[in-house]
Homo-oligomer: A and B are copies of this chain.
């Protein structure tokens, strides 16, 4: 931690900090770690190149700090959604989580962008650890939803928690990708559609999930 950001940076006026974070976030989200240029970052934030090295140890340091910052924003969102839907049933909670995710990505495209970039950059520093942190975070979230749902009898009792967590993570993560990255969305056609179309897809997806997970008459071959 102390190897990443230097006290010099934290002592900076907040607006200057913000300018630098914004510039770095934009650059990393646009280009990914290895293609991101410190030249661009200093140019956009209006500071001297040397100053960047007063604030952070090196390119890696900047990246890790920015990624940390991004994670903390996401974390805040998830905690808030989780708490505000405490009382609702499993499927409602899941649906609201999905919709909250869609809204978040629309609002903070850069944060989602930096996550997508790191996802496949072998060169990104500590990529493994960073990704694991993010995914485990999501997994924990779904896991806790599932446990509560099963305890309340809303879900089949024989559901394997591990695999079900995987299913939810995969479906929601992919849905968010499709909703935000046109190239991913081959089948759904979300980017050309309006809000209405999006909501219909959410309903259809939830319906399939409900069939897959809910308690009630079981499937009999």
Contacts and interface: CB of A to CB of B under 8 A. Distances in A.
Contacts of A160: 204
A219 B214 contact: yes
Contacts of A208: 159, 163-164, 167, 212-213
A139 B211 contact: no
A217 B218 contact: yes
A166 interface: yes
Contacts of A211: 156, 211-213, 218-219
A143 B221 CA distance: 22
A188 interface: yes
Interface stretch (A10-18, A63-71, A73-81, A113-121): A113-121
A131 B205 CA distance: 23
A2 interface: no
A183 B121 CA distance: 12
Nearest to A130: B183
Interface string A123-144: 1000110011001101100010
Interface in A138-197: 138-139, 143, 156, 159-160, 162-167, 169-171, 173-175, 178, 182-184, 186-189
A210 interface: yes
Nearest to A168: B187
Contact of A122 (B31, B210, B218): B31
Contacts of A182: 128
B174 A187 contact: no
A208 B216 CA distance: 14
Contacts of A135: 183-184, 186
Nearest to A143: B187
A162 B187 contact: yes
Given A117-B120, A213-B208, A127 B183 contact: yes
Nearest to A210: B219
Interface string A25-37: 0000011101100
